[in-house]
């Protein structure tokens, strides 16, 4: 059977309170009762010694006693529940409470028995008379026998104290259970409310509704982390969903134009409007090449973003690699009268050479594309203790500030007027970022309109 978190927390608070009360009761019964019996015994012994001392002081000399005072002491002791018998050295009874008032003595004995049996019903108790010697000037002058119902005699005041104490413990126990129930309910509600909200948000996410966010606050650190994680998850999934929809629309848009062109050319040639000459076929071939390039880029992106991306890492000089790439681009830069400069020294890194080469080619290609004639492109390589920094900077048209956060997204183009002929497929920078992140590195972009763009790559020298 499953129970809610609120019910479990409430029950746990009640259980803790109940166990605490039971434990306190057991310990109280074991220790307090023991020490209280000892206290009662010592107190009774003290009273007995006081009576014995008072009677000893009533001895005059030569076997004579102050009987009036002894009678007063005996009556007073009887009224306080003590049954005494005073004997001289010869065993002669000087004063006996039972002789003085036997009926009262019997009632006192019965009351003693009732008190003891009510508190200790399983204890064998009997009435006994304990002798206490009387002395005068260090000489034995007689004995006082004090009646007691043992082994544990409790007076009415003693029983009242014990009963009050246990009533207090019962009251504390009931209050503790009630307080635990109230506190448990409050805490359970405070803990379960945000969790229930998290469950609701998670269910919305599972149904494809990613806009729901958890706004409830909690003072519990773990719950705050949970709600924050769910909110981040929902935000990430919402972005991914939007990217997926955008990608589908962008792929359809990118393929629609060349396919429509091909379809129009083919239909025109089939209908005899155009002759299937070399120029027409060459135009169709160019469109097919563009489509194939787009599909190839998508395949690369899917491969790089997949979990099974394999990096064939080797140690190589990244400056040497960049020099070769720049050399291959020199004719194109000369055609646009763009100056390209490489400021770098030998710098070895541990990475996948082919994929890093693809990153450099893509960035240099972009710089060539968007730098005007007679412009300038600077490439630099700087090495630190464990990081290699590669920078590609141009003085081209730049990227608007509002577009900078999105330039690494699939099919995103900062210049909305660019077509597929001048702007490429729009996933080159996405591939670049994926490759850099696969190497545990990062790529940043800095740009200002009409002053140029700089891409900065930070790669660890060793993984």
Q: 3-class SS at 88?
A: strand
Q: Which residues, in sequence order, are CB contacts of 246 under 8 Å at separation 6+?
A: 409, 410, 411
> pLDDT value at position 307?
53
User: What is the rounded CA–CA span in Å between residue 86 and residue 145?
Assistant: 7
**pLDDT tens column, 69-128:** 888 888 888 777 778 888 888 888 888 888 888 888 788 777 777 777 776 666 666 777
- 278-298 average pLDDT score: 81
User: In this prediction, what percent of the chain has a pLDDT beyond 70?
Assistant: 88
> pLDDT value at position 26?
75
Q: Which residue has the higher pLDDT, 159 or 262?
A: 262
**pLDDT level of residue 421 (50, 70, 90 thresholds):** very low
- 379-405 average pLDDT score: 89
Task: State yes or no: pLDDT of 289 exceeds 80.
Answer: yes
**Main-chain dihedrals φ then ψ at residue 46, nearest 5 degrees:** -65, -45
The dihedral through the CA atoms of 18, 19, 22, 28 has a sign that is negative
Q: Where are the extended beta strands (E) located within 82-198? A: 84-88, 93-96, 126-136, 139-150
> pLDDT value at position 443?
93
Over the chain, what is the mean pLDDT?
80
User: Does residue 278 contact residue 411 with C-beta atoms inside 8 Å?
Assistant: no
User: What is the rounded CA–CA span in Å between residue 211 and residue 123?
Assistant: 75
- 28-38 average pLDDT score: 73
Most confident by average pLDDT, 5-19, 248-262, 341-355: 341-355
User: What is the rounded CA–CA span in Å between residue 132 and residue 10?
Assistant: 61
User: What is the rounded CA–CA span in Å between residue 276 and residue 114?
Assistant: 127
pTM: 0.47
> pLDDT value at position 297?
73
User: What is the rounded CA–CA span in Å between residue 187 and residue 105?
Assistant: 61
**pLDDT tens column, 264-276:** 888 888 888 888 8
**pLDDT tens column, 167-192:** 887 787 778 777 777 777 777 777 77
User: What is the rounded CA–CA span in Å between residue 320 and residue 348?
Assistant: 9
């Amino acid at each position: 059977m499953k129970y809610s978190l609120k019910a479990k927390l409430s029950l746990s608070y009640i259980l803790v309170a109940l166990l605490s009360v039971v434990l306190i009761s057991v310990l109280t019964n074991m220790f307090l009762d023991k020490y209280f019996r000892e206290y009662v015994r010592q107190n009774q012994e003290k009273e007995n010694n006081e009576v014995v001392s008072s009677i000893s002081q009533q001895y005059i000399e030569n076997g004579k006693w102050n009987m009036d005072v002894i009678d007063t002491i005996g009556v007073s002791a009887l009224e306080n529940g003590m049954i005494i018998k005073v004997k001289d050295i010869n065993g002669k009874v000087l004063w006996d409470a039972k002789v003085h008032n036997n009926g009262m003595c019997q009632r006192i004995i019965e009351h003693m028995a009732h008190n003891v049996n009510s508190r200790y019903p399983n204890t064998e108790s009997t009435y006994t008379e304990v002798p206490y010697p009387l002395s005068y000037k260090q000489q034995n002058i007689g004995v006082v026998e004090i009646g007691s119902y043992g082994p544990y005699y409790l007076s009415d005041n003693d029983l009242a104290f014990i009963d009050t104490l246990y009533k207090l413990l019962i009251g504390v126990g009931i209050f503790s259970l009630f307080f635990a129930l109230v506190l448990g309910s409050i805490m359970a509600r405070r803990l379960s409310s945000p969790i229930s909200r998290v469950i609701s948000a998670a269910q919305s996410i599972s149904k494809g509704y990613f806009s729901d966010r958890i706004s409830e606050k909690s003072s519990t650190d773990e719950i705050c982390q949970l709600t924050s994680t769910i909110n981040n998850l929902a935000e990430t999934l919402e972005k991914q969903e939007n990217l997926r929809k955008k990608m589908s629309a962008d792929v359809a848009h990118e393929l629609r134009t060349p396919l429509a062109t091909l379809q129009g050319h083919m239909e025109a040639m089939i209908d005899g409007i155009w002759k299937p000459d070399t120029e027409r076929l060459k135009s169709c071939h160019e469109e097919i090449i563009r489509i194939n390039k787009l599909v190839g880029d998508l395949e690369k992106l899917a491969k790089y973003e997949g979990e099974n991306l394999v990096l064939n890492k080797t140690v190589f000089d990244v400056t040497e690699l960049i020099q070769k790439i720049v050399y291959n681009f020199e004719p194109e830069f000369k055609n646009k009268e763009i100056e390209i400069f490489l400021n770098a020294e030998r710098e070895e890194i541990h990475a996948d050479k082919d994929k890093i080469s693809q990153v450099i080619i893509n960035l240099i290609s972009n710089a060539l594309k968007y730098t005007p004639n007679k412009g300038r492109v600077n490439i630099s390589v700087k090495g630190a203790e464990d990081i290699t920094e590669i920078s590609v900077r141009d003085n081209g048209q730049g990227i608007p500030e509002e577009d900078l956060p999105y330039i690494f997204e699939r099919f995103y183009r900062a210049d909305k007027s660019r077509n597929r002929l001048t702007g490429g497929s729009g996933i080159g920078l996405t591939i670049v970022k994926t490759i850099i992140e696969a190497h545990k590195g990062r790529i940043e972009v800095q740009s200002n309109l009409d002053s140029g763009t700089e891409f900065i790559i930070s790669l660890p020298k060793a993984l």
